[in-house]
Each structure stands twice: as C-alpha cells, then as structure tokens.
Amino acid sequence: MTMPAYEVFAIRYARRDARRADHFIGGDPHDAPMPMDYFVWLVRNEERAFLVDTGFTAAMAAKRKRQYLRTPREGLALLGVKAEEVRDVVITHLHYDHGGTFLDFPNATFHLQDAEMAYVTGRHMRHARFNHSFEVEDVTGMVRMVFDGRVAFHDGAAELAPGVSVHHIGGHTAGLQSVRVHTRRGWVVLASDASHYYEHMETGRCFPTAFHLGQTLEGYDTLRALAESPRHIIPGHDPLVMQRYPAPAKDLDGIVVRLDVTPQG
C-alpha cells in the first residue's frame, strides 16, 4: 500500500520580542535580538486532518505580554478549516502557548502523552520553576476533557493514521511529544518545543525552560532519526520558518507557510 502524503502548514498566531540570552541555558555572549514566533500546525490530506496544538487566547497574550496576531481558529479558517470540523488535535505538551483555546474545538479528540498528564497533575507542579509555563485552567480543563472521554492517551510512539505518528521526546516537559508526517518530500517532523529554534538542535544547546536536560539533548538525535534529513525538522518557535518556507497563497504571506515543500534557505 502506498503511504499517504499530507500537506503540512505552520500558522503563526502570535509573537514576542526577546534577546538571545533569553533562549539559552547559560545565556549568550551576543546581546542581540532573537524574537519568538508562536505557531499551531495543520496536517491534512483529502481523507483527514490533524491540528497540532491550540495556542493561547488574547487574554493570555495580554497577561504574558505577547503580541497577539489572530486566534488559532481564525488561522485555520484562512485555510478553509472550520474549528467545529476538527476531529483530532495533537497536544504536544500543555504549556500555556500549546494547550490553550481547546474549547474552540468542541468536536475534537485530544491526543496527549500519559507522561504529560502525570507531570502536570503531579508533585513537580509544586515548584514555580516548572509550573510557571502552565496555566492551571488549561490543565484542569484538559482533565475535564478526560472525564468527557475526549482525550486519547499515548505511551510513547503511536500511529494516529497511516503517515502520521506521535513520538515521546520529553526534556522540555516530561511528556513532550513531536509529530512525524509523511509528505511528498518525505518524512517531516514537527518538533514543537523539542527544539525551539534551529540553533538549539544544530549546536546542542538547550532552552532555559527544561524538565530534563539529558532528554532534551538526546531528543535532538531522536528528531534527526525520525526525519528524512535535518532540513525536514521544523522547530517550534523559530521566525526563520516563515522565511524558509513559502506561503500557500499571496494573501497568506506572513501568516501561513507550507512545510511539505522544499525550504528556500
């Protein structure tokens, strides 16, 4: 049987200004700007569609001083996808910028690692070092989704459909998962925060928000093993993604890029 090929899109919904020292453990000797983009991702073909992550709300942007560009559901609508039609959502991890706005997808099943739910409801959330990137309402909301029968749990690697699978990476959070997708250019890996920027995995450095540094560093090797090549790995927050990949239409320039085509740089 021929493996299905999917289209893959990165939808930018928010951004913030930052400096290089903000993004590396131990800081950085170069005092230069290093802005951060916030994405959700759409994976689709003629048979099915998957949303990867659900972003955060305008209220959360105000609370955390982020520049809000659009809601994730508005970004999806630009690609002809209605939030009510989404049936499967992969939550890579439950940090505020990946697991908010889930209520905008009333008919979806949410795919989550066992380890992530155990992490966000367990002993480590007593510590501000770990809990500061979570919002308790997002966590309790996902627990309610469990009781409603709308969470599909995975323990490690799992195939969601032919050509789409999730892979437990850990590191950044205990249950962080990345998504592997078969496309017309081969296997693309949506790393999410297994590597925030290209530079993290290319230089073996780590983002400051981390649960387990060893898993973070080993995770870079896992990403490379899963992807067709290093050029098939998509980091979670790097503005370079918007520069290296083309918009699917001229009116979506700066909003959406297509990841199942060869990068431009």
- Evaluate if pTM is beyond 0.95: yes
Residue 44 has pLDDT above 80, yes or no: yes
Could you tell me which of 263, 262, 264, 259 has the C-alpha nearest to residue 10?
259
SS3 7: strand
Average pLDDT for residues 92-113, to the nearest whole number?
Answer: 98
* Residue 153 half-sphere exposure toward CB, CA atoms < 13 A: 13
How far apart CA 120 and CA 93 sit, in angstroms, is 10
Q: May I ask the CATH architecture of the domain 7-258?
A: 4-Layer Sandwich (3.60)
Average pLDDT for residues 45-63, to the nearest whole number?
Answer: 97
8 A C-beta contact, residue 99 and residue 138 = yes
Could you tell me which of 181, 49, 192 has the C-alpha nearest to residue 112?
192
Per-residue pLDDT of 194-239, as tens digits, reads 999 999 999 999 999 999 999 999 999 999 999 999 999 999 999 9
How far apart CA 201 and CA 226 sit, in angstroms, is 14
Could you tell me which of 175, 170, 180 has the C-alpha nearest to residue 233?
180
Average pLDDT for residues 38-42, to the nearest whole number?
Answer: 98
Domain assignments of the chain as residue spans, ordered by start? 7-258
Q: How does residue 264 score in pLDDT terms, banded at 50, 70 and 90?
A: confident
Calculate the alpha carbon distances from 46 to 49, 50, 164, 166 in Å. Answer: 8, 12, 14, 20
How far apart CA 93 and CA 177 sit, in angstroms, is 7
